Structure 1
Amino acid sequence: MKRADLVAILARDARGSKGAATRALDAFLSGIRDGLRNGGTVTISGFGTFLVTRRAPRGGRHPRTGKAITIPSARVPRFRPSRGLKAAIR
């Protein structure tokens, strides 16, 4: 499912325009992004939790030269689905 498909579903189910659905989706995603950017977690009951974790530095190889390199640590977003979401998928 792509963003446009999600906007169409939101517009249909809310009986609104695609423009309003796009603005609602943008606001929703912006809220999640801001919550994660500030180092917090975003929990949506019945859906799951978005959180930021730190990936440790690790070794790797440069793809062109084959030289060993160190990949630095990084903050990465993660999603942990709720039990209800897992059950709905099964």
Structure 2
Amino acid sequence: MTKADIVNEISKNTGIEKAVVLETVEKFMESVKGSLAKGENVYLRGFGSFIVKKRAQKTARNISKNTTIIIPAHNIPAFKPAKTFMGEVK
């Protein structure tokens, strides 16, 4: 399902214009990205959590050049679904 599909589905089910729904979805995604960029997690009860995971520094290998490189510690965004969500997907 794409963002356009989500907008069409919400618009069809609620009767709200697609342009308004699209703007709302865009603002929601901006809010989530902004919170994660600040290191804040986003919790949506019954749906899941958008969290920031911290990756430790590690050593990796470049096989083609046969060298070792250090990958510094960094943060990555992740999604953890709620238990009720997981129960519905199974």
TM over 0.5: yes
How does the TM-score come out when normalised to structure 2? 0.89
How does the TM-score come out when normalised to structure 1? 0.89
Q: Which stretches in structure 1 are left out of the alignment for 5+ residues?
A: none
Q: CA-to-partner distance for each residue in 1:23-44, whole Å, 9 max, x for gaps?
A: 0100111111122122111100
Corresponding residue number in structure 1 for 2:4: 4
CA RMSD after TM alignment: 1.3
What is the DSSP-based 3-state SS (H/G/I as helix, E as strand, rest coil) of the residue aligned with 1:84? Answer: helix
Corresponding residue number in structure 1 for 2:74: 74
**Structure 1 residues 63, 27: closer, same or farther in 2, change over 3 A?**
farther
Corresponding residue number in structure 1 for 2:34: 34
What is the DSSP-based 3-state SS (H/G/I as helix, E as strand, rest coil) of the residue aligned with 1:46? Answer: coil
Q: Which stretches in structure 2 are left out of the alignment for 5+ residues?
A: none
Give me the whole-angstrom Cα distance separating, in 1, the residues matched to 2:17 and 2:63: 47
Corresponding residue number in structure 1 for 2:55: 55
After superposing on structure 2, the runs of 4+ consecutive aligned residues of structure 1 that deviate more than 3 Å are none
Give me the whole-angstrom Cα distance separating, in 2, the residues matched to 1:8 and 1:73: 40
- How far off is 1:62 after superposition? 2.3
The share of aligned pairs that are identical, in percent, is: 26
Equivalent pairs, count: 90
